[in-house]
Amino acid sequence: MNWGGLLLVMILLSSLVPGLIIFALPEKSNRPRTFLNLGGAFLKLLLILVMIIGIYQGRQFAVRWQLLPGLELALNSDPLAALFSTLSTVLWLLTTIYAVGYLEQSPNRRQFFGYFSICVTVTVGIALAGNLITFFLFYELLTLTTYPLVTHRGTREALAAGRVYLAYTLSGGAVLLVAVAWLQVLAGPVAFGGPPAAAAVPATHELQLIVIFFLFIAGLGVKAALVPLHGWLPRAMVAPAPVSALLHAVAVVKAGVFGIIRIVHDVYGVPFAAGLNLLLPLAILASLSIIYGSLCALREDDLKKRLAYSTVSQLSYIILGVSVAGPLAAMGGLVHLVHQGLMKITLFFCAGNLAETLGVHRISEMRGIARRMPLTMAAFSVGALGMIGFPPMAGFVSKWYLGMGALEADKMWVVAILAVSTVLNAAYFLPILIQAWFKPQESTWSEQGTTARLETHWMLLVPPLVTAFLVVAVGLLANAQISPLAWVKLIIGLEYGP
Amino acid sequence: MSTIFLYNFSGLALFAIGLHGLIRSSHLLRKILAANLMSSGIFLIMIVGAYGPDQALIDPVPHAMVLTGILVSISTTAVALVLVCLVQETTNRALLLQKRKREQRGRTDA
Amino acid sequence: MTGQQVLPELQVLLLSLGPGFPLVIALGLMVPACRRLAFSMVAWAPLPALLASLYGPSAIAVEVPWFFMGSLIGLDRIGQIFLFFTSFLWLVAGIFGRDYLAADEKKYRFFGYFLFTMSGNFGLILSQGVLGFYLFFSLMSFAAYGLIVHHGTGEAMRAGRIYLGLTVIGEVLLFMAMLIVTRDSGGEIAFSAIKTSRADTLLMLLLFFGFGIKAGALPLHGWLPLAHPVAPVPASAVLSGALIKAGLLGWLRFMPPDQAAAPFWGEFFIVAGFAAAFYGVVIGLTQVDAKTVLAYSSISQMGLMTVIVGGGLLVPDRWAQTTLAVSLYAMHHGLAKGSLFLGVGVAKKKWTGGKKPWWLSVGLWLPALSLAGLPLTSGAIAKYGMKEIVVAIPEPWHGLASFLLPLCALATMLLLYHGISLIRPATGRPEAEQGQGMLFAWAANLVAVAAVLWLWPGSPMEYDHFLTAAALWNGLWPAGLGVLVAMARRHYGRGVYEKKALIPAGDVMMVGQWLEGMVQGWPGQLVFGKSGKDFRPAAGPDRETWLRRIEPRLKKGEKILQRWAVVGAIFLAVIIALVYYFYRG
Amino acid sequence: MPDTPFWAVCLVVVPLFFAIICFVRSSLVTFLGPLAAWLNALAGLGMTLSFVHSGPLRYAIGGWQAPLGINFSIDGLSVLLVAMTAVTGLSVSMYAKGYFSLRIGSAGEINRHGHQRAYFWPVWLLLWAALNGLFLSADLFNIYVTLEIIGLAAVVLTALSGKPAARLAAMRYLLVSLLGSCCYLFGVALLYRSYGILDMTALSRLVSPAPLLWVSLALLTTGLLLKTALFPLHFWLPPAHANALAPVSAILSGLVVKASFYLILRLWGEVFAQVLPFAAYVLLGVLGCGAVLWGAVQALLQKRLKMLIAYSTVAQLGYLFIALPLIRLDPGPSAREAVILLIMAHACAKSAMFMAAGSIFLKAGHDRIDDLDGIKEVLPVSSFAFVLAGVSLMGFPPSGGFLGKWLLLGVSLASGQWWWGIMLVIGSLLAAGYVYRIACHLLVFKASFSSRRGSIPPVMEWPAVLLAVLAMILGLLAGYPLGLLEAGCPVPIHACLEVMP
C-alpha cells in the first residue's frame, strides 16, 4: 500500500469513520455529531486537494485489493475521478451545514447523519473506482445507503416512495450485474485507466458487445433518470430537503451519469462505440428524456417535483454531450456534470428553505414570496436563470460547448434539441420567478419561528448563497486556470489527445 | 439360488409395504410401525447380500452395518413414541391429519 | 473629437466603467443600508458612458481574457455613435424618471431594473466579441421585463409575459446563430474576425428573426405596442429609443462587410423594411392611445432602417457608408422618439387641462417634424444620408425605393399628427412644483434632437447641395401634405376613432391568445392530460396490488404440498425421474 | 502443535463428552455448555490451522483400517465446513447462554426457560459432534449414522419449545427424517451389494454405469433431497424452523440443512461426477429454480417474521441446487468456490437473522411484521444486525453471497447456458423484495413503540451483529478460505485397498 494508495483510502475513510462513530453516539449528542461531520468534510476536502495537486504534477495514485485470482478491487485517481469527487465533497460540506440547520428539532438524526456520511463515502468511492467491479460494488452500496435517507420521515408516502425507489434501483442493479459479468466473461477484468477493454474483444462477439452496451445503459439509466426509468425520482421527493438536495441532485443521479461516461469513454472508448453506432440511439434516448422531462416539469405544481423533473431533463444533457462523439461536446457534457450539480443544489436548498421556514411546497403559494425571503429567492433566481442558460451563469457555458460540439460533429438536430429545451426550461422556471418577484402575496404562510434578524436560520441561508455565488463565479471565470472548465479540458486533452 | 432371490424379494416387499404404510396411514403409531417395517426390510436385503455364491465365505461388514442400523432404528422409534405422547397430550388425538392442523390455526405462535 | 492615445489599462477602466458603473449603483440600491445614497446617484449613472463615447479613441479593442470565456471591449465608429445617443437618452430618461416617479413607492425596484437594463445596453454596444455581446444583450432584455411590469396591472403582466416569451425565443435563435457564426469563423469570437457566410440561409434567417424580435420586424413585433403604454414614461422612452436599436446594432455587427453580395437577402430586408414601415402606420392610425401610436411609429421607422440595411447588403462595397447612415438615422430617431415619449409624460404631469400650452405643442411638434424629414432639421440630414444609399442600389429597387421613401415621410407625418392629437391633459391634481427636473431633461433632449446631426462630425453635411431648391422641395411636400391630410381626417372622422381601437394593440398577439386557449383547451388536455394533476408515469410495482391478487392461489398451493399423500407421490416421482435421467443420459 | 488427526478426534469427542456430562449433571449446564462451545470452537480453529500447515489427510480411527474401521478424510471442503460450524455454533451458543438466562416475559415463561436449558445444551452438543463427524467422515455408512444423529437431535431441539405447533412440526420433521434415512440406507445397501466398498474416494474409482447403481443413487439422492427440503419436498421445514426456539431455529437453518446438502455436493460433485449424465444435474437445477421462486414468493406472503425467514431458507437452498449444473459445466474451480461461499455466507447470515428475530420477538412480544415500526429505537443493535444479514442474503456487494452469485453468473454466461445466471439474478431480486419488506419497518422511525419490560443482554445482541458483519465482509476476505479449498484435493487411497472384491 504505497503512499498514494493510502491517500485514496484515507479519502474514503475520512467520511466513513465519522459515519460509524455517529452511529455509536447516542441520539442527543448533537454537538459532537456536528463536529464529526464538519471535521470529516473538511479533512476530505483537504485530502482531495492534495490529490488534485498530485494529478497536476502528473502523479498517479492507485491501490489494489485482490479478492480472488481474477477479481480485484482497485481505486485510482484519474482526472475524471478527481472532478466528480471534488464536486461531491464540496457539496457534501455545504449540505451538511444545511442539514444541521434543517433538522434542528427533528427526531432520528443519528440515523440520518450516519447514513448521510456513509452515502458520501460510497459516492466518492464510485468516483475513485479503478475498475468495473469496484464501480459496481460502490454503485450497489449507494442504493443500500440511500434507502434509509429517502424513507427518513417514516410517513406512508415516504415508505411507498422508498419501495418504488428500491424496485427501480435494485432491478437496475441486477441488469447492471448481468452486463458487468458478461463483459468480464468476454473481455476479462475491465480496468478504467488503460486502453478500452471492450475494443480488445474479438470481432465475432460484436453482437454480444452491443447487447451488453444497452444492458449497461439500462442498468445505469435507472440512476441517471433516463426517461422510461425515471419514475422513482419525482416520487423520492418526499425525502427531507438535504437528501433531495445532495442525493437527487448530485450524488445518486450523478453516479448513474458518471457510470455512463465511464462506459462510453473508458470501457468502450468513443471511437469503438461510434464504430458500432451505439452512440446515436443513446443520443436519441437522451434527447427524448430532455424534452419529456421538461414537459413533465411544466405540468407540476409541487416545487420539488418540478425540480425533480428538471433534473431528469438536465442529466440527459450530460449524456447527450457524451454521446455526441467529439471533444467539444464531451467537454460540454462533463462540465455540465459540475455546473448542473451546483445549480440544482442551489434550487433544492432554496426549496428546502421555503418549505422549512414558511411551509410553502406548491408554486401557486409562492406569490410575492421574494418580499418575505429576498436572499433565498435571489439564490433561487440565480440557479433558475443558470438552468435556463442565461449567459454569465454556469448553464450557458455548458450549453455553449454542447452546441459547439454538436456543430463540430455537424448534428444540427442536437442544437435544435438544445434550443427547444432552453425554451421549455424558461417556460417552467420563469413563471416561478415572476410569481415570486413581481406578484403580490396572496396565500398565507405558516411562520415556523425564525430569528428576527435573518429571514431564516443562518445555516439554511449560507449554503444556497455560497452555491449561487459559485454558479455565477464558475460561469464568469470559466477561462480561469482553476475553473471546472479548465479541469475538463485537461480530462478531454488526455482522452482525445492534443 | 432361488432362496437368495426369495429373501431379496421379501426384503423389497417389506420395504414397499412399509413405505405405503408410512405415507398412507393417518394414525401416528401406524406410521412409526411402518417405518420399522421399512428398516427391517433393508436389513434383510443387506444380510442376504453378505452371503457370497459359495456358502463358505461370509462377509462380516453387512452384519456390522445391520447391527448399527438396528440400534439406530430403536432409538428413532423411542424418540418417535415420546413425540407421539407429547402430540397426544396437546391434541388429544394422535392423528396428524390436515383437519387437525386447521383447528390448531387459531393458536399457532412461535 | 478623436481622443488621444490613452494607456490600455486606463482604456479598459474607462470602457468597463460604462456598463460597470450602473451595475455598481444597482447593487447599491439592493443593499438597504446605502439605498438612499445610491438613489441619489441613479441619474448620473450613464455619465461615464457618455464621456467615453465623446472622448474615447475612435477605434480600439481591448482583450479581457478572464472575463466570461474571454471577451473584448472596444469602441468603433458606429459603436461610438450608438453609445453617444444611447447614453444621452438614458441620462435624460434617468433625470426625468427621478422626478416622474418621485411619489412611486416601488421606485427603488424600478431604478434597479432601470440600471440593469442600462448596463446591458452599454455593455452590448461596447463589446467587440460575440459572447460579450450576447451576455449584455440577454441582461438588457431580461432586465427590461422589470421596467414593463412596473405598475403590476393586469395588462402590464400580460404585456410582460408576451415580451418575455418573445425575448426567450429571440435569445434561443441568437444562441443558435452565434454557434453557427463561431463555427464558421473557426472558433474566433471577435467581431472583426468573424465571417458570416451570406449563403447560409439558416444563419441569415436566425439573425433576421433573432434581432428582428428586438427591432420590431413584422411577424414578431407584437410585444412593442403592448409594452409601451403599460411601461412608465421614462421606461418607454428608453425602450423605443435605445432598446430596439440594439436589434439594429446586432444586424450591423453580425453581418461584416465581406465581399459576397447577397442579392436575395438584400431584397428580403428591403421588402421586410417597407412592409413594416407601412404596416406600422396603417395599424397605428386605428389606435386611440398616444403611446401605442408612438410605438407603432417606432415600428415603421425601424422598417425604414431595415430598408437601408437591405440596401447595404445589395451593394457590399458601400457597406461602411450604409452602416454610418443607418447609425445616424438611428441616433436621430432614438432622440426624437425619446423626446416625444417624454413629452407625453410632461403633458400628463404638467398640462392642467384646457388648451395645450404653447411650449408643450412646440416641444412635441419639433421632433415630429424632424422625424418627418422637414428641411433644415437634423431629420432631413439623416434622410439625406439614406438617399445616398438608395441612389447606389441596383435598378429595380432604386426606382421603387425612391418612390416609396417620400411616401414613408408622408405616412410618418400623418401618424405623428394623429399621435400628438391624442395626447391628453393630466387627470388628477398635477404636482406643479417639483417638476423642474422633468422639464429640464425634456428641454435638453429637444436641443439634442435639433442640433445633433448638425454638430456630429461624420454626418454627410454639404451645405451647398443641401440648400438647393430641389432638396428643399423634396423635404417640404411630404411633411406639408401629411399635415393637411391629417387635419382633414381629424375634421371629418371626428369621434369615430376616439373611443376604442379597431384592432386591439399588439394585433398579431391575438394569434398568441388563440394558441394559449388551445393549450388550455381540449387539444392541450389530449396531449398533456389534465393540467396540474400529478402526472404519474408508470407507477412503481406496488407490492399490495399484484401480489394481493394471486395470494389465495399461492396459499392453497402451499396447503396441497403439505399433505402426506402428495409428499409420497412427489417422493416416488423424484426417484423415478432420477432413474430415468440416469438411464437416458 | 498437535497434528490434524488429534484435532479431528477432539472435534468429535469433546462435544460428546460434554454432552454426556451436561445431561448427567444438569445443574452445571449453565457453565459447562458455553465452556464446551468455546472448546469446540478452539478445536475447529486448531484443525484449520494444522490443515493449513500439513494439508489433506486420511486418518483411520484407532488404527482400524477400512472397511470395518471408521476413516476420516480431511480435505479443504470438510475443513471449511467444520470451521463454519465452529464459528456459527459458538455464536449461537453465546446467544443461547443469554437466551436461557433471560428474565423477560411472564413467570411461566421464565421457569420453562430454565427447564429447556437443561435439555438444550446436551442435545445441541450432541448435534454439534454429529455435524463435525459428518463433515469429516469418509465412508457412506458412517455418514448414515451421523446423519441419523443429526436428524434425531434436530427433532428433539425443535420439540423443546413445548408449544403444540412446535410439537406437531417436530413430529412431521421426524417422520420425514425417518423416510429420508431409510431411503438413504437402502441406497447404501444396494451400493454395497454392487461394489463391496463404501469409502467415497474408493467408490469414485470403481463406479461404472450399471442399472443397480442408478437405482441406489436415485434412492440416496432423494433421501438427501428430503432432508435438505428442496422445493417440492420442503413442506416440513418452515413450520419446524419457525416454531422452534430462536437459537434452535438458527442452528436448524444455518447448519443442519447444510449437512445433507454437503453430502449431495460430495456425491454429485466428486464421487459420482464422471458417471452421472448432465441431464440429471439439469433436473436438480430446475428443482432449484423452483425452490428459489416458490420460496421467495411464499416469503413475500408471510405475515410472521420467523415464517418469512424459514421460507427464505427454502429459497436460498434453491441457489445451491442451481449451482450443481454449473459445477458440472465449469472446467475451473470457480463454481465449487462459489457454492462454498454461498453455503458459508448463508449459514452466517441466516443464523444472525434468526438470532436477531429471536431478540425482537422477546422484546416486542410478537413477531407480526407490520407492527414492528419503531423497534429501531428499542433494539438498535439487533435491528441493524437483522438488516445487515438480510442485505448479505440479498447478495449485495461486498458480501460472500454477492461473490458467490458473481462467480456463478460468470460461469453460466461463459458456458453459454445463461438461464441459470438469470435465475440467480431474479432470485436475488426477489430476496431483496422480502428482506426490504421487513427492513422498511425496522429502519423507520416511530416515537413510541410498545415493548415488554426488561432489556435484552448484550451477549444476545452482539453475536448476531458479528455474524452479520462476517457474512457481509466474507466477499472481501474470500481469498483466504477459498485458498484452503484448493489445497485440499482428496488423497489417493490405494494405501487401503487390500479388502475383498
pLDDT (tens digit per residue) in C504-521: 666 666 666 666 666 555
Counting Cβ atoms within 10 Å, is residue D229 exposed (0-12), middle (13-18) or buried (19+)? buried
CA distances from C235 to C98, C115, C280, D50 (A): 12, 11, 21, 94
Who contacts C479 (Cβ-Cβ below 8 Å, separation ≥6)? C369, C372, C373, C374, C409, C410, C413
Domain count, chain B: 1
- The yes-or-no verdict on residue C191 having pLDDT over 80 is no
- The yes-or-no verdict on residue C59 having pLDDT over 70 is no
Residue D444 DSSP symbol: S
- Report the candidate in D386, D364, D362, D385 with the shortest Cα–Cα distance to residue D375: D364
Tabulate helix, strand, coil % of chain B (nearest 5).
80, 5, 15
- The yes-or-no verdict on residue B82 having pLDDT over 70 is yes
Do the chains contact at C539 and A231, CB–CB below 8 Å? yes
User: How do strand D71-74 and strand A71-76 relate by DSSP bridges?
Assistant: unpaired
- The yes-or-no verdict on residue C237 having pLDDT over 90 is no
Counting Cβ atoms within 10 Å, is residue C432 exposed (0-12), middle (13-18) or buried (19+)? exposed
Contact in structure between D259 and D394 (CB atoms under 8 Å)? no
pLDDT (tens digit per residue) in A236-292: 888 888 898 887 778 889 999 999 999 998 888 888 888 888 899 999 999 999 999
Residues of C in contact with D213 (CB under 8 A): 582
Spatial separation of the C-alpha atoms in residues D164 and D157, rounded to whole Å: 14
CA distances from B57 to A292, A494, B47, B51, D487 (A): 88, 85, 13, 7, 42
Residues of A in contact with C535 (CB under 8 A): 296, 299-300
pLDDT (tens digit per residue) in D443-464: 887 777 777 777 888 888 899 9
Residues of D in contact with C584 (CB under 8 A): 277, 279
List chain C domain ranges.
8-342+358-517, 557-585
- Report the candidate in C171, C193, C168 with the shortest Cα–Cα distance to residue C181: C193
A364 in a structural domain = yes
Counting Cβ atoms within 10 Å, is residue D112 exposed (0-12), middle (13-18) or buried (19+)? middle
Q: What residues form DSSP beta bridges with C74? A: C61
- DSSP states along C200-259: -HHHHHHHHHHHHHHHT-GGG-THHHHHHHHS-HHHHHHIIIIIHHHHHHHHHHHS---S
Q: Which three cell numbers stand for residue C99?
A: 422626478
Mean pLDDT of C317-330: 82
Q: Which helix (H) or strand (E) segment is A401 a member of?
A: helix A394-408
- DSSP states along A412-456: HHHHHHHHHHHHHHHHHHHHHHHHHHHS---S--------SSSSS
pLDDT (tens digit per residue) in A156-189: 888 889 989 999 999 999 999 999 999 988 888 8
Confidence (pLDDT) at C341: 85
Confidence (pLDDT) at B90: 80
Do the chains contact at C568 and B23, CB–CB below 8 Å? yes
The Cβ of residue B18 has, within 10 Å, a number of other Cβ atoms equal to 23
Q: Could you tell me the residue range of the domain that residue A466 belongs to?
A: 328-498
Confidence (pLDDT) at C328: 83
Mean pLDDT of chain C: 77
Spatial separation of the C-alpha atoms in residues A432 and A370, rounded to whole Å: 11
Mean pLDDT of A99-111: 85
Q: With an 8 Å Cβ cutoff, is A172 touching chain D?
A: no
CA distances from C412 to C271, C405, C418 (A): 18, 11, 10
Counting Cβ atoms within 10 Å, is residue A31 exposed (0-12), middle (13-18) or buried (19+)? exposed
Spatial separation of the C-alpha atoms in residues C72 and A139, rounded to whole Å: 46
* Cell 465449487 -> residue: D336
Do the chains contact at A423 and C176, CB–CB below 8 Å? no
Contact in structure between A468 and A377 (CB atoms under 8 Å)? no
User: Is the model more confident about A32 or about C67?
Assistant: A32
* Cell 459572447 -> residue: C131
Spatial separation of the C-alpha atoms in residues D370 and B63, rounded to whole Å: 58
Who contacts D138 (Cβ-Cβ below 8 Å, separation ≥6)? D58, D66, D71, D72, D73, D199, D200, D201
Residue D498's pLDDT band (cuts 50, 70, 90) = very low
Residue type, A454: L
Cα separation of the two ends of chain A: 33
Confidence (pLDDT) at C429: 61
User: How do strand A71-76 and strand C60-64 relate by DSSP bridges?
Assistant: unpaired
Mean pLDDT of D120-145: 92
Contact in structure between A151 and A108 (CB atoms under 8 Å)? no
Chains that touch D (3 or more CB pairs under 8 A): A, B, C
The Cβ of residue A157 has, within 10 Å, a number of other Cβ atoms equal to 12
Do the chains contact at B101 and C564, CB–CB below 8 Å? no
Contact in structure between D8 and D136 (CB atoms under 8 Å)? yes
- The yes-or-no verdict on residue D491 having pLDDT over 50 is no
pLDDT (tens digit per residue) in A35-82: 999 999 999 999 999 998 988 888 888 888 888 777 888 898 888 899
- The yes-or-no verdict on residue D490 having pLDDT over 50 is no
Q: Which three cell numbers stand for residue A170?
A: 435494485
Q: Which three cell numbers stand for residue A458?
A: 443562518
Chain A, nearest residue to D411 by Cα: A185
Mean pLDDT of D315-324: 92
User: How do strand D57-60 and strand C71-75 relate by DSSP bridges?
Assistant: unpaired
Residues of B in contact with D190 (CB under 8 A): 45
pLDDT (tens digit per residue) in D427-447: 999 999 899 888 888 888 777
- Report the candidate in C434, C353, C448 with the shortest Cα–Cα distance to residue C89: C448
User: Is the model more confident about D56 or about D498?
Assistant: D56
Residues of A in contact with C139 (CB under 8 A): 391-392
Mean pLDDT of chain A: 88
Domain count, chain A: 1
3-state class (DSSP) for residue C73: strand
Mean pLDDT of C548-568: 82
- The yes-or-no verdict on residue C3 having pLDDT over 50 is no
Do the chains contact at D436 and A185, CB–CB below 8 Å? no
User: Which residue among C554, C555, C579 places its CB closest to the CB of D218?
Assistant: C579
Confidence (pLDDT) at D228: 92
User: Which residue among D159, D196, D367 places its CB closest to the CB of B83?
Assistant: D159
Spatial separation of the C-alpha atoms in residues D408 and D321, rounded to whole Å: 12
Contact in structure between D295 and D311 (CB atoms under 8 Å)? yes
Confidence (pLDDT) at D330: 82
Question: Poorest-confidence range of B84-88, C48-52, D296-300, D397-401?
Answer: C48-52
- The yes-or-no verdict on residue D163 having pLDDT over 90 is no
Residue D481's pLDDT band (cuts 50, 70, 90) = confident
* Most confidently predicted of A94-103, C258-267, C271-280: A94-103
Residue D493's pLDDT band (cuts 50, 70, 90) = very low
Question: Poorest-confidence range of B55-59, C28-32, C92-96, C172-176?
Answer: B55-59
Contact in structure between D71 and D59 (CB atoms under 8 Å)? yes
Do the chains contact at A299 and C540, CB–CB below 8 Å? no
Question: Poorest-confidence range of A413-417, C40-44, D307-311?
Answer: C40-44
Spatial separation of the C-alpha atoms in residues C194 and D427, rounded to whole Å: 62
Chains that touch B (3 or more CB pairs under 8 A): C, D
Confidence (pLDDT) at C500: 62
A466 in a structural domain = yes
User: Is the model more confident about D22 or about C385?
Assistant: D22
User: Which residue among D179, D221, D235 places its CB closest to the CB of C578?
Assistant: D221
Residue B101's pLDDT band (cuts 50, 70, 90) = low
Spatial separation of the C-alpha atoms in residues D426 and D405, rounded to whole Å: 11
Residue D492's pLDDT band (cuts 50, 70, 90) = very low
Contact in structure between A345 and A250 (CB atoms under 8 Å)? yes
Cα separation of the two ends of chain D: 40
Q: Å from C537 to nearest chain D CA?
A: 22
- Report the candidate in D321, D294, D320, D298 with the shortest Cα–Cα distance to residue D309: D298
Confidence (pLDDT) at D88: 94
User: Which residue among C138, C172, C535 places its CB closest to the CB of A419?
Assistant: C172
Contact in structure between C190 and C65 (CB atoms under 8 Å)? no
Mean pLDDT of C169-197: 81
Confidence (pLDDT) at A179: 93
Contact in structure between C68 and A391 (CB atoms under 8 Å)? yes
Chains C and B touch (3+ CB pairs under 8 A): yes
Spatial separation of the C-alpha atoms in residues C143 and A438, rounded to whole Å: 13
pLDDT (tens digit per residue) in D24-42: 888 888 888 899 999 999 9
Spatial separation of the C-alpha atoms in residues C186 and A194, rounded to whole Å: 33
Spatial separation of the C-alpha atoms in residues C577 and D286, rounded to whole Å: 13
- The yes-or-no verdict on residue A314 having pLDDT over 80 is yes
- The yes-or-no verdict on residue C536 having pLDDT over 80 is no
